[in-house]
Structure formats: C-alpha cells, structure tokens
C-alpha cells in the first residue's frame, strides 16, 4: 500500500511552491473556461457532494490543458447573504470574522483534494474591491430604469427577519416556506427595491435557443418565465367602468357565462350591490388568510360570490354576472378573467357549483366534461367552422378593429425583489433626499459599515437603520439619508464569472468597464463548461443570465449569453440511499476519507460511482475497491522499475495501448469519466499481462491518470525517472489508428458450408497458416476424418471453408 498522506502532502506543497496552477494567458493557445458554481463558505466545511462536481471540472480542465488549451479554472467564495449570515447567527459569531475563517477552511480543504484552481484568480464577493463592481452594475441598472423602489406585496419571513424573492420561496404541502431553513413565509405589503427582470423576459427566452444546456433545464427556465400570448377583452359595465379580462382563448368568447375578478382587485368593492355587501366583504376578508399557493393548488374546489353587477359581453352584448373569486390571482395579468365553463376545468367546476350556464362553443364528443382541445367552433356567429387558432385571430382582429380589446402578452415571471432587511450584504449605493427621491452614490465602493448589532429584527427594519451616523448625511447643505437594506446573496453571484477575469495578481480588479476588460471578455467569454447543482435552475442561472444580457446591451460584454454549456451534477446520497443530513446521521465527511483512503481515492471513487449527472448513494466498499486499484497501479510501477525499457515487441500490448488512448480520450472528451476509469483499469490489466514494461506506455498512462489521481500520478512519474516535473504541464498522448488492428482474430471454419469451429489466428494469416491451425482442431479433425479435401475456399480474416 502506498502512503497517501505522505505523497499527497508532498505534491500539494510542490504545486504550491512552484506556482504550477497559477493562471497565465497564452494568446497562442485556444481558451477553455471551465467553471464550478462557487460555494458559500458555511461553517460546516465541504461535504462529499462538493467534490463530485469539482472533481469533474478538475479532470476536464486538466484534460483540456494537456490537449493544448489555455485553461481558466477558478474558484471563489459566495460569501455574502443569508446562508453565511444565518449560520453565523446560529453559532453566535459575527458574519465578518466568521466568513473569513470559513473561507480559509474551505481553501485548505480544496487544496487537500488536489484541485488545480488558480491561486491568483480567487474572488470573494465580500471584498470591497469586488463588491464595488456589484454596486456599479446596480447603478447602471438604476440609470437604465431597470431598478426601482416600489410598494409591493412581498414574501415576508418572520424567522429570517427579511423578505425573500419568489425564487427563494418553496411550496411545501401548499404552504409557502423559505428555501433556506423551511420557515413559514407570508405576503406583506412593503416598500422595496425591485429589478425589472420582466423587461428581459423575451430576451431571456430567446437566449435559451442559443445555448447548449440540457433540455430539461431550458424547460424549467421557460416554464418559470411563463410567456402567455393572448388578448385583453373589454367587458363594459357602465360609461365609467369597464373590466379588462385577460384570456389566452379569445376564440371561446361566445361561451362566456360569467366574469371573475380577484378579491384584492381595486374595482372589486365598487361592483358590490348593497344586497350582497355582507357576503362579499366576508369573502374578501377570508381570502386574505389564504396563501397564493393555496388558491392555485386547491384546484378541485372553485368558490366565489356574486356581486349583483353584470357586464356586457362585447361580442354579442349579452349580460354576464360578475363574481369575486379567489382562484383569480391579483398579481397575474389583469386580475380579471372571463369564465368559459364548457372549455376550462376551473370555470366548469365553478359553473356547476353556482348553476351557471355551460355553453359549448367547440364541437365535443361528450358534453358532460369540459372540452379543452382544438376543434370546430359552433354557436359562435363570427367564427363558426373555424379551428381554435384561426378563430382566435379572427376574434382579436374584430375586437381590435372595434376597440373592444387587443393582443397582449403576460409572463409568470415577476420582477426580482432585490432588497433584504439583513446586515450581511452589499449596501445599496443610494441616498434619499428630503422628498424621499432616490439618488445614486457614485463614489464606490460604498463600504458596509461595522455593525455590532447585526442580527435581523422582526419589525422589517434593516440592522443598518440603527446606525444614525452612517444613515444621515449632508451633501452640500442638503440632508440625505441612506438606503439601509442590503442586496441579496444573488447579487454577487450574478457576475462572478466576470470577476475572475478581472482579478489581478496583486489582488485588485481591472475596472469592469475598461477597454482592457473588454479585450479579456472577448477572448474568454462565454464560459465553455459550467457545472453545478440543479437547485440553481431558476435562481442563480436566471439572475446571472439577466445581468449578463444587460451588460451585453450596454456594451460591456461581447456575448448575449454567459454560459454555453451547463451540466448538473447528481447528488451523493448517504449509504442508506437517503439525502445526507446530520439529523439522519448518514453524513460522510471528506476530511476523514482523505485521511483514511487519500484524496486520489476519493476523487476516483466519486467519478467511478456512475455518470456525473446521476444521483447515487455512497458505498464504503466502492471506495475500498478504488483504493485497492490505485494500490495495484502503484505496485505495477514499483515491481517493474528494473525492467522498464523502450523496446516493444509485444504486439498485443501495443494494440491494447492504442485502443486505450483512443477510448479514454473519447470518453473524457464526452465527460464519461466512469467509463474512462474502466478504460484505465482494462489497460492496467493488459500491462500486468505482458512480460514487457514499456516506458512510453507507462509514462503516457500516468499523464491520463494525472487527471483523476494527480498526486499518485506525479509520484509514479518521479519514480520512473522524471524528477521535478509535474504532469500538469505534459502533453496528451495520441494514438496511431494503424495500430488499432487486432493482432489475433477469430476465424470461422466451415466444412461443406456448415460452421464447425472458430479458430484464433494471426491477423492477415495466409491460407496455409489458417488451414494448419484448423486441421489441429479436434472438432475439425472429427469432421474431416480420412476424407480427402476436395477444395478450399479462403477469404483473408473472414472465413475458411473446407469442402470434402
Ligand atoms: C378564457 C378561457 C377559456 C381561458 C378557456 C382558458 C380556457 P395561462 O396560460 O396560465 O396564462 N386567467 C387569466 N387571468 C388570470 C388570473 N389573474 N388568475 C387566474 N387565472 C387567470 O392562463 C391564461 C388563462 O387563465 C386565461 O385564459 C384565463 O382563462 C385565466 F377555454 O380565459 B382563460
């Protein structure tokens, strides 16, 4: 058994001392930007899930480097924001010192895994030199009318003492809870900063067509953006009041039997006739206690109350009753819908319950259930005989011509709620004047002030609000007060892949808007391969795409999209097949595995478990097996040290070698790392099976091994005579296709056209050689017996037919 502790420490020190992994740009080489989703440095340190994606990118980056690319493969710290702060609070620490301590711990852990991250490219979102540019991007968004302060119904989380973005709220059994910590979330009106991501909805949709992401990931983003094209139709009540309903099914307009308005709609109260006042007001009050999710999810039972008012259907001037219904959501489209029970599930349930007419306007086989599909329109004067799409177009045309409605597009995507009532985030570069108008602070960075009392409060005020000296300032002789909310965690992570490119050796950053930065972006964007967890499908990946597209629009970056290829790595479950968690007691600690089995074994095991995108349980026997294989590799080199030579007479081994290089290269290129490892295993068996110890094969095998087990590979490389050279700087071996011809082949032997045996002969063997071997076979001997051979038909490498 090799001593992994000794070997791994030795090589980590050498790589560090020799600056092996420092980033240098060589413009003569093509670039490969291989990115990991950077971690937030929690106090718990790395778990075994982290090295899965990180090992995959490490292997790929090393492979790219060995095949002649200039690689950028950086890491940094997503250190502002809720998770880091929450953890600091729960362990009674100040986020600042705590974050720095955790970063140091994470860095050491990553080094122990032998990753080739560039030490001179690390970024930290809490470094004022970094967040100066986070703030700068905000100022640009503000200048372009994409950031504004607004009264909004926010997701308020009492336990976290802050508001949350829609993307940070989960639906668990119909209840709204925070993504972090699973705490209850309620709707509450507050004055908040929002970023107008909805203005970018179409650009974000179009951009998806340009990039090489897995289809399911694109589908998640499309669904989240939720583009709905339809029409707004005007239902007149009186000269003063008209209700505007949004529909994606204008073709069903002849089937409308009621109008439904959201209980929160400002017009709702105006529609209530005195006779219905009590029931309606009670209903509106009851709705307030229901969450949006409850109203959406509870799809079986649609309820509502009649207002006593009617509206005119503009297509036929028929009177339709108006109901207040909680299944109509105020914050989607216009908050008013036209009810068509015959062709919509919810409207159907509603009509049944309140005995409203169910008028079919599309032919159906069965008139007992709503008909939702395409079909021939009936009972619809203007559009009888047309299918859905043609009917829709015709109705919209008619409505537009008569000013009764118009085409409209709505999105499920909401503007991005961008402020948090927390301490640990970037301060907004904003001051308000005496009239509460916001103004930009141009002198950046605006440093986050020291704050002893940093814990969140439940009154909705940010901890920074208590710092009177900081909050109140005088500019000229005018009084201003500062914005005291901070930015969410997603701010710093929305552009960090640009931050790496700007990071200088002296720790400073090139200005994001400089000409030099532009040149670097031109060379290095987009990110070629981005690996991370699927939990970021609609959070980070959407926000970062939005910021990037904005930076493209203002001429900062040259590409529309930031990440060309995204790969979601699967999770590693506990040995019992359940998600790893402290409470389940099934957590595997990578530090312990590094001590017991070594970092190389952990890396190879995590890649050998299965394809990178699959979720799999940890298995102790698996890591033991991998370690045994690494020992087998070590023993091979150790035992052949004295017999290594350049000679190669073993044709079988030569063939195996070229086949190995071909297969392993193709598999690494496709990121099939588990298959690449079995290619290595097969080749090690072939090396063992040969009497020869060929220097070239042994050397080139180590170059490939160095991607997976870099410490062991460098150690063995030194053992076979290369002192002081690191394989990181080697050149990927190539194979010779001419050598990919088998040295032995199986030849079928027929007697009188009937298959009798298969013999092993040399490749391209002659008829005589083949016949000689065939006639030695017991099966063939038994057939031929004493018979005279009349004729022989032989096709080289294909067949031998003996006629008797
Ligand atoms: C009439 C109709 C007839 C509809 C029919 C559907 C089928 P998506 O595709 O999700 O955008 N709707 C409109 N505003 C709403 C709101 N604020 N809350 C809840 N539902 C609302 O859905 C659009 C459809 O959802 C609209 O088209 C409307 O019902 C309803 F056979 O109008 B439809």
| C-alpha of residue 287 to centroid of ligand 1, in Å | 20
Query: Is 582 labelled as part of a ligand binding site?
Result: yes
The mean pLDDT of the chain is 94
Cβ atoms < 10 Å from Cβ of 49: 20
| C-alpha of residue 247 to centroid of ligand 1, in Å | 5
| C-alpha of residue 632 to centroid of ligand 1, in Å | 65
Q: Is 413 in the pocket of ligand 1 (CB under 6 A)?
A: no
User: CA 633 from chain center: how many Å?
Assistant: 36
Q: Which residue's CA is minimally distant from atom 11 of ligand 1?
A: 228
pLDDT score of 173 more than 90:
no
Q: How confident is the model at residue 540 (pLDDT cuts 50, 70, 90)?
A: very high
Least confident of 163-177, 210-224, 738-752, 758-772: 163-177
Using CA atoms, how far apart are residues 353 and 65, in angstroms rounded to an integer?
Answer: 68
| C-alpha of residue 19 to centroid of ligand 1, in Å | 61
Q: Which residue's CA is minimally distant from atom 7 of ligand 1?
A: 344
Question: What's the pLDDT tens digit per position in 176-207?
Answer: 889 888 999 888 888 899 999 999 999 999 99
Q: How confident is the model at residue 89 (pLDDT cuts 50, 70, 90)?
A: confident
% of residues, the chain, pLDDT over 70 = 99
User: CA 13 from chain center: how many Å?
Assistant: 34
Q: Which residue's CA is minimally distant from atom 25 of ligand 1?
A: 247
Using CA atoms, how far apart are residues 499 and 593, in angstroms rounded to an integer?
Answer: 33
Span 361-367, mean pLDDT? 95
Counting ligand 1 atoms within 8 A of each CB, the residue from 201, 222, 228, 246 with the most, and so the one to mutate, is 246
Phi first, then psi: what are they for 532, rounded to 5°? -175, 180
3-state SS class at 135? helix
Q: Is 233 in the pocket of ligand 1 (CB under 6 A)?
A: no
Using CA atoms, how far apart are residues 557 and 495, in angstroms rounded to an integer?
Answer: 11
Of the ranges 23-37, 165-179, 443-457, 638-652, the best mean pLDDT one: 23-37
Reference 158, options 190, 180, 184; nearest CA is: 184
Q: Is 243 in the pocket of ligand 1 (CB under 6 A)?
A: no
Question: What's the pLDDT tens digit per position in 136-145?
Answer: 999 999 999 9
3-state SS class at 105? helix
Counting ligand 1 atoms within 8 A of each CB, the residue from 201, 227, 248, 264 with the most, and so the one to mutate, is 248
Q: Is 343 in the pocket of ligand 1 (CB under 6 A)?
A: yes
DSSP 766-789: -HHHHHHHHHHSHHHHHHHTTPPP
| C-alpha of residue 337 to centroid of ligand 1, in Å | 6
Q: Is 714 in the pocket of ligand 1 (CB under 6 A)?
A: no
Q: Is 371 in the pocket of ligand 1 (CB under 6 A)?
A: no
The pTM of this model reads 0.87
Counting ligand 1 atoms within 8 A of each CB, the residue from 332, 346, 396 with the most, and so the one to mutate, is 332
| C-alpha of residue 246 to centroid of ligand 1, in Å | 7
Position 354 scores a pLDDT of: 97
Q: For ligand 1, what atom is nearest to the CA of residue 327?
A: 19
* CA distances to 376, 377, 456, 655 from 391, in Å: 9, 8, 55, 68
| C-alpha of residue 251 to centroid of ligand 1, in Å | 13
Position 186 scores a pLDDT of: 85
Six token digits for residue 328 = 């109509």
3-state SS class at 242? strand
Q: Which residue has the higher pLDDT, 111 or 173?
A: 111
Q: How confident is the model at residue 298 (pLDDT cuts 50, 70, 90)?
A: low
Q: Is 159 in the pocket of ligand 1 (CB under 6 A)?
A: no
Q: Which residue's CA is minimally distant from atom 9 of ligand 1?
A: 228
% of residues, the chain, pLDDT over 90 = 80
Q: Is 129 in the pocket of ligand 1 (CB under 6 A)?
A: no
Six token digits for residue 73 = 């493969």
3-state SS class at 505? coil
> What is the number of residues in the chain?
804
Phi first, then psi: what are they for 400, rounded to 5°? -65, -40
Span 409-418, mean pLDDT? 94
3-state SS class at 175? strand
Using CA atoms, how far apart are residues 744 and 389, in angstroms rounded to an integer?
Answer: 66
Q: For ligand 1, what atom is nearest to the CA of residue 342?
A: 31
Question: What's the pLDDT tens digit per position in 587-617?
Answer: 889 999 999 999 999 999 999 999 999 999 9
Q: Is 246 in the pocket of ligand 1 (CB under 6 A)?
A: yes
Question: What's the pLDDT tens digit per position in 752-763?
Answer: 999 999 999 988
| C-alpha of residue 248 to centroid of ligand 1, in Å | 6
Using CA atoms, how far apart are residues 633 and 626, in angstroms rounded to an integer?
Answer: 11
Span 390-401, mean pLDDT? 98
Q: For ligand 1, what atom is nearest to the CA of residue 330?
A: 17
Phi first, then psi: what are they for 247, rounded to 5°? -140, 145
Six token digits for residue 45 = 């340190």
Q: Is 335 in the pocket of ligand 1 (CB under 6 A)?
A: yes
pLDDT score of 742 more than 90:
no
Q: Which residue has the higher pLDDT, 653 or 45?
A: 653
Pairing mode, strands 754-762 and 791-795: unpaired
* CA distances to 31, 335, 338 from 245, in Å: 53, 7, 6
Using CA atoms, how far apart are residues 472 and 482, in angstroms rounded to an integer?
Answer: 7
DSSP 630-680: HHHHHHHHHHHGGGEES----HHHHHHHHHHHHHHHHHHHTT-HHHHHHHH
Identical fold, 227-411 and 744-803: no
Q: Is 311 in the pocket of ligand 1 (CB under 6 A)?
A: no
Q: Is 180 in the pocket of ligand 1 (CB under 6 A)?
A: no
Q: Which residue's CA is minimally distant from atom 12 of ligand 1?
A: 337
Position 297 scores a pLDDT of: 65
Q: Is 249 in the pocket of ligand 1 (CB under 6 A)?
A: yes
| C-alpha of residue 235 to centroid of ligand 1, in Å | 15
Q: Which residue's CA is minimally distant from atom 19 of ligand 1?
A: 328
Question: What's the pLDDT tens digit per position in 232-257?
Answer: 999 999 999 999 999 999 999 999 99
Q: Is 252 in the pocket of ligand 1 (CB under 6 A)?
A: yes
Question: What's the pLDDT tens digit per position in 313-324?
Answer: 999 999 999 999
| C-alpha of residue 57 to centroid of ligand 1, in Å | 44
- Write the CATH number of the domain with boundaries 744-803: 3.10.20.590
Tell the burial category of 269 from Cβ atoms under 10 Å away from its Cβ (0-12, 13-18, 19+).
Answer: middle
| C-alpha of residue 268 to centroid of ligand 1, in Å | 18
Q: Is 208 in the pocket of ligand 1 (CB under 6 A)?
A: no
Q: Is 329 in the pocket of ligand 1 (CB under 6 A)?
A: yes
- Write the CATH number of the domain with boundaries 227-411: 3.90.740.10
Q: Is 258 in the pocket of ligand 1 (CB under 6 A)?
A: no
Reference 701, options 640, 762, 750; nearest CA is: 640
pLDDT score of 419 more than 70:
yes
Q: For ligand 1, what atom is nearest to the CA of residue 332?
A: 17
The answer to whether 362 touches 252, Cβ cutoff 8 Å, is: yes
Q: For ligand 1, what atom is nearest to the CA of residue 248?
A: 27
Q: For ligand 1, what atom is nearest to the CA of residue 256?
A: 1
Contacts of 788 (CB under 8 A, 6+ apart): 804
Phi first, then psi: what are they for 416, rounded to 5°? -85, 115
Using CA atoms, how far apart are residues 391 and 397, in angstroms rounded to an integer?
Answer: 10
Using CA atoms, how far apart are residues 342 and 372, in angstroms rounded to an integer?
Answer: 8
Using CA atoms, how far apart are residues 350 and 345, in angstroms rounded to an integer?
Answer: 9
Position 587 scores a pLDDT of: 85
Quick one: CA dihedral 783, 786, 788, 792, positive or negative? positive
Q: How confident is the model at residue 388 (pLDDT cuts 50, 70, 90)?
A: very high
Helix, strand, coil % (nearest 5) of the chain? 40, 20, 35
Span 370-392, mean pLDDT? 97
Phi first, then psi: what are they for 33, rounded to 5°? -100, 110
pLDDT score of 746 more than 80:
yes
Using CA atoms, how far apart are residues 524 and 516, in angstroms rounded to an integer?
Answer: 13
* Domain coordinates in residue numbering, the chain: 145-204+417-489, 227-411, 744-803
Q: Is 247 in the pocket of ligand 1 (CB under 6 A)?
A: yes
Counting ligand 1 atoms within 8 A of each CB, the residue from 226, 293, 333, 405 with the most, and so the one to mutate, is 333
| C-alpha of residue 400 to centroid of ligand 1, in Å | 20
| C-alpha of residue 249 to centroid of ligand 1, in Å | 8
Q: Is 509 in the pocket of ligand 1 (CB under 6 A)?
A: no
Using CA atoms, how far apart are residues 419 and 445, in angstroms rounded to an integer?
Answer: 18
Q: Is 747 in the pocket of ligand 1 (CB under 6 A)?
A: no
Q: Which residue's CA is minimally distant from atom 27 of ligand 1?
A: 247
């Amino acid at each position: 058994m090799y001593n992994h502790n000794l070997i791994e420490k030795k090589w980590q020190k050498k790589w560090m001392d020799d600056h092996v992994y420092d980033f240098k740009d060589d413009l003569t080489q093509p670039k490969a930007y291989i990115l990991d989703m950077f971690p937030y440095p929690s106090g718990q340190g790395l778990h075994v899930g982290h090295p899965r994606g990180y090992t995959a990118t490490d292997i790929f980056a090393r492979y790219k480097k060995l095949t002649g690319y200039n690689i950028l493969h950086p890491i940094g710290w997503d250190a502002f924001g809720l998770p880091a702060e929450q953890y600091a609070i729960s362990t009674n620490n100040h986020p600042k010192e705590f974050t720095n301590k955790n970063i140091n711990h994470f860095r050491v852990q990553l080094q122990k895994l032998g990753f080739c991250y560039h030490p001179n490219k690390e970024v930290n979102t809490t470094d004022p030199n970094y967040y100066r540019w986070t703030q700068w991007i905000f100022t640009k968004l503000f200048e372009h009318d994409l950031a504004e302060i607004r009264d909004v119904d926010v997701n308020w989380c009492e336990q976290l003492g802050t508001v949350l973005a829609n993307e940070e709220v989960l639906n668990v059994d119909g209840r709204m809870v925070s993504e972090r910590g699973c705490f209850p979330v309620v709707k509450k009106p507050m004055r908040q900063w929002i970023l107008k991501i909805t203005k970018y909805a179409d650009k974000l949709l179009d951009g998806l067509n340009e990039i090489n992401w897995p289809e399911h990931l694109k589908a998640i983003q499309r669904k989240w953006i939720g583009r709905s094209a339809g029409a707004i139709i005007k239902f007149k009540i009186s000269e003063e009041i008209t209700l505007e309903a949004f529909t994606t099914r204008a073709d069903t307009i002849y089937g409308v039997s009621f109008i439904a308005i959201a209980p929160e709609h400002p017009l709702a109260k105006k529609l209530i006739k005195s006779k219905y006042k009590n029931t309606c007001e009670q209903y509106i009050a009851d709705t307030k206690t229901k969450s949006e999710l409850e109203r959406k999810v509870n799809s079986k039972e649609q309820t509502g109350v009649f207002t006593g008012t009617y509206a005119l259907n503009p297509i036929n001037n028929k009177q339709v009753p108006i109901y207040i219904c909680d299944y109509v959501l105020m914050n989607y489209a216009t908050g008013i819908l036209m009810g068509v029970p015959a062709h919509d599930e919810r409207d159907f349930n509603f009509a049944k319950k309140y005995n409203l007419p169910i008028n079919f306007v599309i032919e159906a086989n069965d008139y007992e259930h709503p008909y939702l599909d395409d079909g021939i329109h009936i009972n619809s004067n203007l559009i009888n005989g047309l299918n859905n799409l043609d009917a829709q177009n015709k109705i919209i045309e008619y409505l537009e011509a008569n000013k009764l409605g118009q085409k409209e597009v709505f999105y499920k995507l909401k503007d991005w709620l961008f402020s948090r009532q927390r301490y640990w985030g970037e301060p907004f570069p904003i001051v308000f004047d005496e009239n509460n108008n916001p103004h930009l602070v141009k002198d950046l960075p605006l440093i986050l002030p020291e704050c002893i009392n940093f814990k969140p409060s439940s009154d909705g005020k940010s901890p920074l609000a208590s710092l009177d000296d900081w909050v109140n300032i005088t500019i000229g002789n005018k009084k201003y007060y500062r914005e005291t909310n901070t930015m969410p965690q997603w701010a710093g992570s929305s552009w960090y892949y640009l931050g790496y490119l700007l990071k200088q050796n002296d720790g400073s950053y090139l200005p994001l808007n400089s000409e030099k930065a532009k040149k670097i972006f031109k060379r290095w964007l987009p990110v070629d391969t981005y690996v991370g967890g699927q939990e970021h499908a609609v959070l980070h990946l959407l926000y970062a795409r939005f910021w990037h597209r904005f930076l493209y629009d203002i001429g900062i970056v040259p590409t529309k999209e930031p990440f060309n290829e995204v790969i979601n790595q699967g999770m590693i479950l506990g040995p019992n097949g359940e998600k790893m968690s402290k409470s389940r007691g099934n957590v595997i600690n990578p530090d312990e595995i590094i001590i017991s089995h070594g970092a190389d074994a952990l890396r190879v095991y995590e890649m050998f478990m299965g394809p990178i995108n699959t979720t799999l349980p940890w298995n102790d026997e698996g890591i033991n097996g991998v370690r045994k294989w690494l020992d087998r590799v070590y023993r091979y080199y150790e035992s052949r040290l004295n017999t290594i030579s350049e000679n190669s007479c073993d044709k079988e081994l030569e063939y195996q070698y070229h086949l190995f290089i071909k297969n392993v290269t193709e598999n690494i290129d496709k990121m099939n790392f588990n298959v690449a490892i079995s290619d290595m295993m097969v080749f090690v068996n072939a090396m063992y099976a040969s009497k020869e110890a060929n220097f070239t094969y042994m050397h080139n095998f180590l170059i490939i091994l160095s991607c997976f087990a870099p410490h062991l590979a460098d150690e063995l490389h030194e053992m076979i005579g290369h002192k002081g050279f690191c394989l990181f700087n080697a050149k990927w071996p190539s194979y010779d296709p001419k050598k990919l011809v088998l040295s032995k082949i199986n030849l079928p032997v027929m007697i009188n056209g009937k298959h009798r045996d298969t013999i092993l002969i040399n490749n391209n063997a002659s008829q005589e050689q083949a016949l000689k071997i065939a006639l030695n076979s017991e099966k063939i001997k038994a057939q031929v017996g004493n018979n005279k051979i009349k004729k022989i038909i032989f096709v080289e490498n294909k067949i031998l037919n003996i006629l008797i």
